[in-house]
Amino acid sequence: MPSAVLPASDVPQLDTAADLLTLLRDTTTEPRPDSQLEALALAVAADLPVLLWGEPGIGKTAALTQLAAELELPLTTVIASVHEPSDFAGLPVVGDDPAEQGVPMAPPDWAVRLVRAGRGLLFLDELSTAPPAVQAALLRLVLERRVGALRLPPGIRIVAAANPRSSAADGWELSPPLANRFVHLKWTHDHEVVVRGLGGTWPRATLPRLDPQRLGDAVDFARLAVCALLAARPTLVHRLPADETRRGGAWPSPRSWDMTLTLIAFATAASSSRDVLSLLVRGTVGDGPGLELLASLDRLDLPDPEDVLADPAGAELPDRGDLRQAVLDGVVAAVRERPDRARWDAAWTLLVRAAETGPRDLVVVPATTLAALRREEWDVPASIERLAGVVSLSAQADRVADRTAARTAARTGR
């Protein structure tokens, strides 16, 4: 006999509640660029420990869950604040002959499961509420990938999360040795993403792809970028902050510069945006040194002044004012170092282009300097007249030439 259909009033309430929960969880996704998630994914791919800083309830755990799913890695969550130091350092287990064999340190079950799996994402949550003794025990886990007598295999990646001390329950500042082992990423929420997600459509981030053809160039670029900055700014190699709170974040040291170099190489190989690179660099060496490095990277991308002088009409000028100014100043400096008529004329061609395609005020200083380099036998190019609205360069060049000739005559007695 067919089973009777129960009236709605006879359906168990928990079954109805389950149906309602199923409808609430029935959401869709849409592709959406996410700089935070891309920076996190690159750091994880680079096998560097990452620490996500953010207020409670803004989606740090959800981001880790999504990342683990995208990377097809099993996720193991360990709440650091509820564990004892021995849970990370291992518990001593006395064997048959401890004087001969020693006393091994037994690892916890979660570490054994990770080693057996051979790969996975280890999520250390609530790191800022872990007491100093637990933080000290975590040093070996984060740096050496050891838990008791076990060494975690290379396929294990480590990500931690923490709340700022102001919003953490019984929070502690991170110790400087532990903090300096992490890439620190500030995690924030996007208002539009939250609204669309609550409406039933959550974002699906596209993770970065490394280009196999760019690996060698990416390493060369990263080494050049970091070494060029530190050669010019040796005080940035190691700078321990005086403030206790800042010591618990990102700050420059040889270790963190090495992580920075790795992350620049990964971001370059993945053709990541400047926003992603900024998050990674500032998350390893701090805001001040990070911004200096970003500015140095911009200068590395500038065209060679000699290439510009060889083809001033076809050279590409940056849109950003500070970078355009650097190109113009570099070209004028190149002419000053090796002056001749053809190079002088080429520089004027470039300045005219710069004035016609960007802010005209950027041309004034390099044009004045270039005018002062004119030699008596060099005619003033006709193209200078197109800069008449910026500065009276033709007349100025003539005056400079006259003064130069007068000084020369006075020295030679003519």
On whether both 137 and 232 belong to a single domain, the answer is no
> Residue 61 belongs to a domain with what CATH number?
3.40.50.300
What pTM value is reported for the model?
0.74
Answer yes or no: do 225 and 336 share one domain.
Answer: no
In the predicted structure, residue 297 carries a pLDDT above the cut 80: yes
* Residue 352 confidence (pLDDT): 87
Domain match, 356 and 402 both: yes
pLDDT higher than 70, residue 406: no
pLDDT band at 7 (very low <50, low <70, confident <90, very high): low
Residue 40 lies in a domain: yes
For residue 189, pLDDT beyond 80? yes
Residue at which a domain ends, from 160, 188, 204 = 204
The average pLDDT across 374-400 equals 66
337 found inside a domain: yes
**Is the domain of 54 the same as that of 159?**
yes
Same domain, 144 and 75: yes
Are 282 and 370 members of one domain?
no
Same domain? For 141 and 253 the reply is no
- Maximum mean pLDDT: which of 73-87, 141-155, 184-198, 244-258: 244-258
Instruction: Tell me if 45 is assigned to some domain.
Output: yes
Confidence check: pLDDT of 145 > 60: yes
Minimum mean pLDDT range among 3-12, 22-31, 50-59, 357-366: 3-12
Percent of the chain with pLDDT over 70: 86
Residues 44, 172 share a domain: yes
Range(s) of the domain holding residue 158: 28-91+105-204
> Of 300, 316, 344, which marks where a domain is finished?
300
Domain match, 326 and 234 both:
no
Q: Over the stretch 67-118, which tens digit does the pLDDT of each residue have?
A: 888 888 899 988 887 888 887 877 767 666 665 656 667 788 888 888 898 8
Assign 3-class secondary structure to the chain.
Answer: CCCCCCCHHHCCHHHHHHHHHHHHCCCEEEECCCHHHHHHHHHHHCCCCEEEECCCCCCHHHHHHHHHHHHCCCEEEEEHHHCCCHHHHCEECCCCCHHHHCCCEECCHHHHHHHHHCEEEEEEECHHHCCHHHHHHHHHHHHHCEECCEECCCEEEEEEEECCHHHCCCCCCCCHHHHCCCEEEECCCCHHHHHHHHCCEEEECCCCCCCHHHHHHHHHHHHHHHHHHHHHCHHHCCCCCCCHHHHCCCCCCHHHHHHHHHHHHHHHHCCCCHHHHHHHHHHHHCHHHHHHHHHHHHHHCCCCHHHHHHCCCCCCCCCCHHHHHHHHHHHHHHHHHCCCHHHHHHHHHHHHHHHHHCCHHHHHHHHHHHHHCCCCCCCCCHHHHHHCCCCCHHHHHHHHHHHHHHHHHHHHCC
